[in-house]
């Protein structure tokens, strides 16, 4: 084929067309950005710089200028809730729901948000009503999770068991640990009321759902003790070591008490010494120390504290050593030892706390469910010196 010079004319033509297309694109972007108020971009900027207060003011301005911005209503509602301004979050989502033109998907989304506002505000009845309405919608998974949270907060353990069972069917996440805890909660209430038969039934259920449920084994021992079955109670508690050895610390004092009732304290002390060698623990050592002090006297308790200090050096053991030494110390040394003991004690109280492995919350008391993040079994039963 021969080269024709007029083909060269095609190049400027292609350039011209490309330039024109780019102009049209830029023009469209500029028109669109002009239709979005400046305060929207200011709001976004504040949000990106983690300044939610300023972002909120900027977004409120946009909503005033353009009340039709539905997505912005959701953003604002979520921001209000995060800041704890729950009445404003509720109003935002209720206003959205009052719109007759709202699309079905947005209506359901607004209901989910409103339910969360109610839940956070502690308006559990209203939250329950909202999430129950969402059960047969595409948001059913989220609705069930929130309903479970509501039943737990209301301490309605029977409903919590049903909700968790349903949730387990829907999602791949096993809920056995939670269901076992709910049964333990019912058993605890039954024990307070003296309905030992119901307590037994729910503890059996807890262990059949979740064999590793240490709480059920602990409570089973308590139940047997209440029924005067001391030997069986000891056997039930011994099982805990195979479930989770760190949880043994929660029953050692009750265990020794039962050995004492049977007139076999010596056996109990030896058992505890063996356990302590396998699982060093501040609190187990404490229980053993007090039991030895009570049954064998200050000299034996002193020896115990000294051995512990060599094996597992801790302020805790040092405090016990000072305590035992103080008892037999001569008058001229008592003040020095007493001062040292008080100083150590202040540090020990400050440093030894239980903590949640999930959120890091610290407490002087052990909880089966973390009061901060709501996780079951989040707390490590062993206290540590930090």
* Region binding Zn ion by CB under 5 A among candidate stretches 136-144, 199-207, 267-275, 378-386: 378-386
Q: Sketch the per residue contact string, 298 through 337, with Zn ion: x for CB under 5 A, - otherwise.
A: ----------------------------------------
Size of the site for Zn ion (CB under 5 A): 8
Taking the complex as a whole, the smallest distance from the CB of residue 368 to Zn ion amounts, in Å, to: 12
* Region binding Zn ion by CB under 5 A among candidate stretches 54-62, 210-218, 252-260, 365-373: 365-373
Quickly list DSSP for 281-336. -HHHHHHHHHHHHHHH-HHHHHHHHHHHHHHS--HHHHHHHHHHHHHH--HHHHHH
Taking the complex as a whole, the smallest distance from the CB of residue 113 to Zn ion amounts, in Å, to: 25
Q: Does 354 bind Zn ion (CB under 5 A)?
A: no
Cβ neighbours, 10 Å, residue 61: 16
3-state DSSP percent of the chain in helix, strand and coil, to 5 = 75, 5, 20
Q: Does 135 bind Zn ion (CB under 5 A)?
A: no
CA dihedral 197, 198, 204, 205 (to 10 degrees): 160
E-strand ranges in the chain read: 354-355, 362-363
Taking the complex as a whole, the smallest distance from the CB of residue 246 to Zn ion amounts, in Å, to: 17
**Residue from 322, 361, 377, 381 binding Zn ion (CB under 5 A):** 361
Taking the complex as a whole, the smallest distance from the CB of residue 376 to Zn ion amounts, in Å, to: 10
DSSP 3-state assignment of 363?
strand
Taking the complex as a whole, the smallest distance from the CB of residue 86 to Zn ion amounts, in Å, to: 22
Residue 226 vs 373, nearer CB to Zn ion: 373
Residue 95 vs 358, nearer CB to Zn ion: 358
Considering only residues 188-207, where is the footprint of Zn ion by CB under 5 A?
none
Q: Does 379 bind Zn ion (CB under 5 A)?
A: no
Do 270 and 253 contact (CB within 8 A), yes or no? Answer: no
273: tokens are 């010494």
C-alpha triplet 233, 236, 238: angle, nearest 5°? 110
Q: Does 370 bind Zn ion (CB under 5 A)?
A: yes
Distance CA 304, CA 294 (A): 13
* Region binding Zn ion by CB under 5 A among candidate stretches 12-20, 175-183, 203-211, 372-380: 372-380
Residue 158 vs 362, nearer CB to Zn ion: 362
Residue 261 vs 355, nearer CB to Zn ion: 355
Taking the complex as a whole, the smallest distance from the CB of residue 386 to Zn ion amounts, in Å, to: 17
Q: Does 372 bind Zn ion (CB under 5 A)?
A: yes
Cβ neighbours, 10 Å, residue 143: 23
Taking the complex as a whole, the smallest distance from the CB of residue 214 to Zn ion amounts, in Å, to: 18
Taking the complex as a whole, the smallest distance from the CB of residue 39 to Zn ion amounts, in Å, to: 38
**Residue from 63, 378, 381, 383 binding Zn ion (CB under 5 A):** 378
Do 217 and 243 contact (CB within 8 A), yes or no? Answer: yes
Beta-bridge partners for 362: 355
Residue 176 vs 372, nearer CB to Zn ion: 372
Distance CA 89, CA 83 (A): 10
Taking the complex as a whole, the smallest distance from the CB of residue 358 to Zn ion amounts, in Å, to: 4
132: tokens are 């129950």
Taking the complex as a whole, the smallest distance from the CB of residue 313 to Zn ion amounts, in Å, to: 30
Q: Does 358 bind Zn ion (CB under 5 A)?
A: yes
**Residue from 16, 36, 262, 359 binding Zn ion (CB under 5 A):** 359
Distance CA 344, CA 374 (A): 33
Rg of the chain over CA atoms, in angstroms? Answer: 33
Cα–Cα nearest to 60, from 45, 34, 32, 80: 80
* Region binding Zn ion by CB under 5 A among candidate stretches 108-116, 173-181, 194-202, 360-368: 360-368
Beta-bridge partners for 376: 369
Distance CA 87, CA 6 (A): 74
Where along the sequence are the contacts to Zn ion (CB under 5 A)? 356, 358-359, 361, 370, 372-373, 378
């Amino acid at each position: 084929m021969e080269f024709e010079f007029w083909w060269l004319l095609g190049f400027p033509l292609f350039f011209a067309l490309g330039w024109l297309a780019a102009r049209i694109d830029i023009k469209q972007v500029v028109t669109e950005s002009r239709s979005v108020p400046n305060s929207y971009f200011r709001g976004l900027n504040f949000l990106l710089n983690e300044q939610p207060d300023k972002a909120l003011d900027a977004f409120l301005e946009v909503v005033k200028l353009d009340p039709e911005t539905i997505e912005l209503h959701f953003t604002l509602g979520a921001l209000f809730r995060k800041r704890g301004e729950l009445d404003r979050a509720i109003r935002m989502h209720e206003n959205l729901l009052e719109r007759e033109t709202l699309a079905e998907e947005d209506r359901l989304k607004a209901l989910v948000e409103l339910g969360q506002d109610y839940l956070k505000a502690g308006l559990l009845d209203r939250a329950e009503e909202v999430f129950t309405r969402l059960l047969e919608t595409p948001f059913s998974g989220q609705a069930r999770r929130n309903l479970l949270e509501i039943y737990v907060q209301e301490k309605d353990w029977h409903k919590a068991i049903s909700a968790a069972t349903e949730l387990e069917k829907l999602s791949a996440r096993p809920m056995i640990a939670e269901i076992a805890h709910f049964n333990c909660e019912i058993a605890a209430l039954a024990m307070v009321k003296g309905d030992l038969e119901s307590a037994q039934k729910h503890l059996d259920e807890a262990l059949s759902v979740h064999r590793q449920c240490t709480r059920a084994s602990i409570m089973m021992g308590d139940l047997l003790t209440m029924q005067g079955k001391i030997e069986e109670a000891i056997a039930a508690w011994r099982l805990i070591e195979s479930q989770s050895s760190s949880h043994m610390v929660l029953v050692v004092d009750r265990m020794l008490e039962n050995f004492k009732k049977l007139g076999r304290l010596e056996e109990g002390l030896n058992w505890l010494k063996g356990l302590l060698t396998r699982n060093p623990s501040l609190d187990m050592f404490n229980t053993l120390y007090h039991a030895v002090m009570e049954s064998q006297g200050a000299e034996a308790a002193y020896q115990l504290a000294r051995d512990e200090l060599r094996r597992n050096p801790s302020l805790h053991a040092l405090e016990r050593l000072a305590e035992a030494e103080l008892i037999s110390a001569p008058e001229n040394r008592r003040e020095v030892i007493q001062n040292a003991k008080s100083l150590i004690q202040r540090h020990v109280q400050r440093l030894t706390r239980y903590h949640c492995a999930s959120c890091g919350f610290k407490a002087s008391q052990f909880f089966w469910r973390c009061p901060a993040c709501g996780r079951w079994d989040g707390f490590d039963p062993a206290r540590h010196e930090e």
